[in-house]
Chains A and B, each alone.
Chain A
Amino acid sequence: MAEMTVNDTNKDLPNDSPHRARTSSLFGWIKVMKKNRKAQVGFIIFVGFILVGILAPVIARYSPTATNFPPLEPPNAQHWFGTTGLGQDVYAQFVWGTRSSLIVGFGASAISTLFAVVIGMYPAYWGGYLDRVMATFTNVFIVIPGLPLMIVAAAYVHDSSTLTMMVIIGLTGWAGRARVLRAQILTLRNREFVWAARLTGASDRRILVHEILPNMLSLFMASLMYGILGAILAEAGLEFLGLGNLTGVSWGSMLYWANNGGALLNGAWWWLLPGGLGIAMFGTSLALMNFALDEVTNPRLRQMSTLSRDRIVRAWHALRGESFQ
Chain B
Amino acid sequence: MSDDTAILTVDHATVVYGSEAGLAQAVNDVSLAVAPGHILGVVGESGCGKSTLAQAIMRLLSPNAALVEGRIAVRGRDMYRMSENELRMFRWKHVSMVFQSALVTLNPVIPVGKQFQEIFQIHEPTMSQVQVRKRIEELLSLVRIHPQNLSNYAHELSGGMRQRIAIAMAIALDPVLVVMDEPTTALDAVVQREILDEIRRIQEIKRFAVVFISHDLRLVSYISTEIAVMYAGKIVEVGSAHHFMAAAHHHPYTQGLLDSVPKLSGEGFTIRAIPGSPPDLVHPVRGCAFHPRCSAAYDACLAASPILRSVGSSKFACFDIERRENEKAHG
Contact = CB atoms under 8 A, between A and B. Distances in A.
A316 B22 contact: no
Nearest to A20: B20
B292 to A, nearest CB: 13
A298 interface: no
Interface stretch (A262-270, A276-284, A302-310): A302-310
Q: Which of A20, A303, A311 has the most CB of B within 10 A?
A: A303
B268 to A, nearest CB: 35
A15 interface: yes
Given A312-B66, A315-B18, A3 B286 contact: yes
Contact of B22 (A10, A311, A313): A10
B286 A313 contact: no
A183 interface: no
Size bin of chain B's contact surface = 20 to 34
A319 B23 CA distance: 10
Interface in A1-50: 3-4, 6-7, 9-10, 13, 15, 19-20
A61 interface: no
A6 B282 contact: yes
A238 B284 CA distance: 64
A20 B20 CA distance: 7
B64 interface: yes
A54 B286 CA distance: 61
A313 B70 CA distance: 13
B68 interface: yes
Main secondary structure of the interface of B (DSSP, over half): loop
Given A6-B282, A6-B284, A311-B18, A316 B23 contact: yes
Contacts of B305: 3
Nearest to B29: A2
Size bin of chain A's contact surface = 20 to 34
B272 interface: no
Interface string B237-248: 000000000000
Nearest to B62: A303
19 contacts: A3-B286, A6-B23, A6-B282, A9-B22, A10-B21, A15-B22, A19-B20, A303-B19, A307-B18, A307-B19, A312-B23, A312-B64, A312-B65, A312-B68, A313-B66, A315-B23, A316-B23, A316-B66, A316-B68
Interface of A: 3-4, 6-7, 9-10, 13, 15, 19-20, 303-304, 307-309, 311-313, 315-317, 319
Interface of B: 16-23, 25, 63-66, 68, 282-287, 289, 305
Q: Which 7 A-B pairs have the closest CB atoms?
A: A307-B18, A19-B20, A10-B22, A312-B18, A316-B68, A307-B64, A312-B66
Given A6-B23, A9-B23, A316-B68, 4 more contacts: A3-B284, A303-B63, A309-B63, A315-B18
